[in-house]
Structure 1
Amino acid sequence: MTTTPTALHPAQKRILTVLVAAQVLSGAGLAAGITVGALLAQEMLGSTGLAGLPSALFTIGSAAAAVTVGRLSQSSGRRAGLATGYAAGAAGALGVVAAAATDSVLLLFVSLFVYGAGTATNLQARYAGADLAAPHRRGRSVSTVLVATTLGAVVGPNLVEPTGWLAEAWGITPLAGPFALAALAYGAAAVVLWVMLRPDPLTTAKALAEDEAESGDQDRSGEPEVSGYTLHLVLGAGVMVITQMVMVAIMTMTPVHMQHNGHSVGAAGLVIAVHIGSMYLPSPLSGILVDRFGRLPLATASGVTLLAAGLLAAFAPPQSVPLLAVALGLLGLGWNFGLVAGTAIITDTVPLATRAKTQGTVDVAIAVSGAGGGMASGMVVAVGSYGLLSVAGGVIALAIVPAIFFATRQQKAVPVSS
Structure 2
Amino acid sequence: MKSLPKNVWVLTLGLALMMSASSLVVFVGGLVGTMLAPSDNLATLPVAAIIVGTALATVPVALLMKRFGRRMTFLSIIAFSILVSLLAAYSIHIQSFYLFCTSLALIGISVASLNQFRFAAMESVSSDQIPKAASTVLLGGIAAAFIGPEIAVRGKELLSASFTGSFVLLAFLFVFGFIILSFYQNVKINKEEKDSPGRPLTNIIKQPIFWTAVLCAMMGYAVMSFIMTATPVSMHVMDGHSLEDTKWVIQSHIVAMFLPSLITAWIINKIGVTKMMLTGILAFAICIGIAYSGHHVGHYWGSLVLLGIGWNFLFIGGTTLLPQAYHANERFKVQALNEFMIFGTQAVAALSAGLVVHSLGWENMLITTIPLLVIPLAAILKNRPA
The normalised TM-score by structure 2 is 0.91
Other structure's SS at 2:42 match: coil
Q: Taking structure 1 as reference, are residues 138 and 36 closer, same or farther at Cα in structure 2, changes over 3 Å only?
A: same
Could you say which residue in structure 1 is the equivalent of 2:207?
A: 230
Aligned to 2:200: none
The aligned residue for residue 221 of structure 1 is none
Q: Using the alignment, how far apart are the partners of 2:323 and 2:157 within structure 1?
A: 44
**What does residue 114 of structure 2 align with?**
122
For the residues of structure 2 that align with 1:208 and 1:374, how far apart are their CA atoms? Answer: 42
**In 1, distance between residues paired with 2:245 and 2:260?**
23
Matched with 2:157 is 165
Kept after mapping to 2: 8 A contact 1:92/1:114:
yes
CA distance in 2, matches of 1:67, 1:117: 10
Alpha-carbon distance in structure 2 between the residues aligned to 1:210 and 1:249: 39
- C-alpha separation between the residues in 2 aligned to 1:210 and 1:262? 56
Q: Deviations over 1:118-152 (max 9, x none)?
A: 22222211111100322222111100000022113
Task: Provide Cα deviations, 1:335-373, integer angstroms capped at 9, x if missing partner.
Answer: 111110111111222111121232122111111111111
* Unaligned residue ranges in structure 1 (runs of 5+): 1-6, 214-226, 413-418
Q: Is the 8 A contact 2:89 2:164 kept in 1?
A: yes
Which AA in structure 2 matches 1:239?
A: C
Q: What letter is aligned with 2:184?
A: L
Alignment gaps of 5+ in structure 2: 197-203
What code does the residue aligned with 1:64 have?
Answer: L
Aligned to 1:28: 20
Given the alignment of the two structures, is residue 64 of structure 1 paired with residue 43 of structure 2, yes or no?
Answer: no
Q: Which residue in the other structure is 2:179 paired with?
A: 191
Pick aligned residue for 2:326 from 346, 350, 361? 350
Taking structure 1 as the reference length, the TM-score comes to 0.84
**After the TM superposition, which residues 115-264 of structure 1 pair with which residues of structure 2 at under 5 Å, given as runs?**
115-166=107-158, 170-172=159-161, 174-193=162-181, 195-198=182-185, 200-201=186-187, 204-206=188-190, 230-259=207-236, 260-264=238-242
Across the aligned residues of Structure 1 and Structure 2, the Cα RMSD in angstroms comes to 2.4
Q: Distance in 2 between matches of 1:56 and 1:292?
A: 37
Residue 358 of structure 2 aligns to which amino acid in structure 1?
A: A
Separation of aligned partners in 1, 2:270 and 2:69: 30
Once residues 134 and 62 of structure 1 are traced to their aligned partners in structure 2, the CA distance between those partners, rounded to angstroms, is 29
Using the TM superposition, give the Cα deviation of residue 210 of structure 1 relative to its aligned residue in structure 2, in angstroms.
Answer: 6.9
Structure 1 CA distance, aligned partners of 2:362 and 2:337?
32
Please say which of residues 362-371 and 290-299 is displaced more in the overlay: 290-299
Give the Cα separation in 1 of the matches to 2:219 and 2:344: 11
1:162 alignment partner, SS class: helix
Q: How does 1:46-125 map to 2 (within 5 A)?
A: 46-125=38-117
- Post-superposition Cα deviations, 1:194-220, rounded to whole Å, max 9, x if no partner, equal x2112x13xx24459679x9xxxxxxx
Does the CA-based 8 Å contact 2:132-2:265 persist in structure 1?
Answer: yes
Match runs of 1:310-321 below 5 Å: 310-316=288-294, 318=295, 320-321=296-297
Q: Please tell me whether residue 287 in structure 1 is matched to residue 265 in structure 2.
A: yes
Q: Cα distance, 1:61 vs. partner?
A: 0.6
Q: Is the contact made by 2:17 and 2:147 (CA closer than 8 Å) also made in structure 1?
A: no
Equivalent of 2:344 in 368, 371, 376: 368
Which residue pairs with 2:373 in the alignment? Answer: 397
- Asked if 1 retains the 8 angstrom alpha-carbon contact of 2:121 and 2:137, the reply is yes
> Would the alpha carbon gap of residues 278 and 394 (structure 1) be closer, same or farther in structure 2, given more than 3 Å must change?
farther
1:49 match: secondary structure = helix
Q: Could you tell me which residue of structure 1 aligns to residue 36 of structure 2?
A: 44
150-159 or 268-277, which deviates more: 150-159
SS at match of 1:399: helix
1:117–1:230 CA distance, 2 compared to 1 (3 A): same
Q: Aligned pairs, how many?
A: 378
User: Which among 353, 358, 365 is matched to residue 382 of structure 1?
Assistant: 358
- Structure 2: how far apart are the matches of 1:277 and 1:291? 23
| Bigger radius of gyration | 1
* 1:297 Cα deviation after fit: 2.0
Partner of 1:218: none
Greater shift after overlay, 78-87 or 125-134? 78-87
CA distance in 1, matches of 2:369, 2:205: 30
SS of residue paired to 1:165: coil
Q: Per-residue CA shift, 1:23-57, capped at 9, x if unaligned?
A: 12113222111101011112101432112212221
CA distance in 2: counterparts of 1:282 and 1:229, whole angstroms: 31
Residues 102-122 of structure 1: per-residue CA shift (max 9 Å, x gap): 122331222111011222222
Letter in 2 for 1:361: L
1:301 deviates by 1.8
Q: Which piece of structure 1 moves more, 100-109 or 30-39?
A: 100-109
CA 1:395/1:175 → structure 2, altered by over 3 Å: closer, same or farther? farther
Structure 1's 311 and 91: CA in aligned 2 closer, same or farther, altered over 3 A? farther
The CA distance in 1 between the partners of 2:191 and 2:13, in whole Å, is 25
